[in-house]
Amino acid sequence: MDDAADSFDVICIGGAIIGSAAAYFLSESSDFDGSVLVVEPDWTYDKTSTTRAGNSIREQFSNPVNIKVSQFAMEFIENFHENTQVEDESPELNFRGTGYLFLATESGMDVLVEKHLIQEQEGATAQLLSVEELAKTFPYMSVEGLSGASYGGLNEGSFDGWALLQGFRKRAIHNGVTYIKDRVVAIETSGTRVTSVQLESGKHVSCGHLINSAGPRCDLIAKMVGLELPVEPRVRSSFVFACHEPIEQNVPLTITPEGVHFRREQQHYLTGTTPQADARADYDDLRVRSEEFEEQIWPVLAARVPQFDRISIVTSWAGHYSVNMLDHNMVIGPASTLENFYFANGFSGHGMQQSPAVGRGLTELITFGEYRTIDMSSLGYERVLKNEPFLELAVI
């Protein structure tokens, strides 16, 4: 950073997918002509949620806002090259439209149908499948105990998350955004406004607006300005396995009634689940919970897909979900008592796909003081203070 540059219009605390999406959209906006600084201590992003994600995207949410948020991401993905190119080059996003498949037992059918009707109203392309249709479409799967499913179309699938991050970051830098390798250790305020941040290097940088995009450490940033944010780091383990008798067709991201998910990943398969013993994790605890595979995941896989009876783990890793303990949905927007401090936190397993809409939404709030495209005010900090959960039935 230029030594003279000790003041920026916007500072993002954290430059992984959310901080970089905000920086990207601010720098692309013709209505915003301010300066942007992204403070990020780890340029390898090794321990971030962003580099440990599954990078899937779906339309199959139950709340219209979440559906619209993902639909905007698909629009962004479709135009990814144009949106992120620098000197005619952009990273290879490699989107694969393989769909999501939500399986339901009889007790889950009402919710499945309820979600489907909302998705249909929002223009999503998912379709309901009877057990017979399910068995015909996915003959490798046992339909025992199932009553139906919801299968998404080409607007759902997976992509290269590192490419998405690099696309945002490189174009933002090209547009004039400054990235600095440093860490925010304190925040100074005056009345109802944030005035500056103090960096680990000792430098103070003043700002017009401050975005909390610190991922699983977001509650620590909130504490720096005296605010409580009920977002906790929770470990999620991912396992890639090889199947001795591979399945010769599309394997969409399938969510079983037990909450185990799996999909094809190149020539292997990716799987994970919500741990039975889910608890707040230490910020640096990235130990893979191998016992989850043995006890929770593999029995479900083998029962649902007979070919998954003979598999071997190829690799595994752990990452953090930032879980909003109120309702498992993001918190976006200004703090009511601190008008220029913005939350962009608590994404659980959805932050990669939600990053384009979040970056654009923050840009609108900072530029116009209101949302101009997707109204995300129901996802604001006010609901946290009032203890009023945002209702979303499809959280994985």
Ligand X SMILES: Cc1cc2nc3c(=O)[nH]c(=O)nc-3n(C[C@H](O)[C@H](O)[C@H](O)COP(=O)(O)OP(=O)(O)OC[C@H]3O[C@@H](n4cnc5c(N)ncnc54)[C@H](O)[C@@H]3O)c2cc1C
Per CB under 6 A, 321 contacts ligand X: yes
Q: Does the protein bind ligand X through residue 227 (CB under 6 A)?
A: no
Contact pick of 95, 347, 381, 390 for ligand X (by CB under 6 A): 347
Of the residues 50, 254, 274, 296, which one makes contact with ligand X according to CB under 6 A: 50
Return the residue of 213, 254, 273, 363 that touches ligand X, per CB under 6 A.
213
Task: Tell the smallest beta-carbon distance from residue 394 to ligand X (Å).
Answer: 13
16 lies in the binding site for ligand X (CB under 6 A): yes
Q: Is 54 in the site for ligand X (CB under 6 A)?
A: yes
**Does residue number 157 form part of the binding site for ligand X (CB under 6 A)?**
no
Q: Which is nearer to ligand X, 162 or 371 (CB)?
A: 162
CB of 315 to ligand X, least distance (A): 13
* 233 in contact with ligand X (CB under 6 A): no
324 scored as a contact of ligand X (CB under 6 A):
no
Name the token pair of 314.
């190829």
Question: Is 169 near ligand X (CB under 6 A)?
Answer: no
209 part of the interface to ligand X, by CB under 6 A: no
Is 352 among the residues that bind ligand X (CB under 6 A)?
yes
Q: Which residues bind ligand X (CB under 6 A)?
A: 13-14, 16-19, 39-42, 45, 48-50, 52-56, 183-184, 213-217, 236, 238, 319-321, 347, 349-353
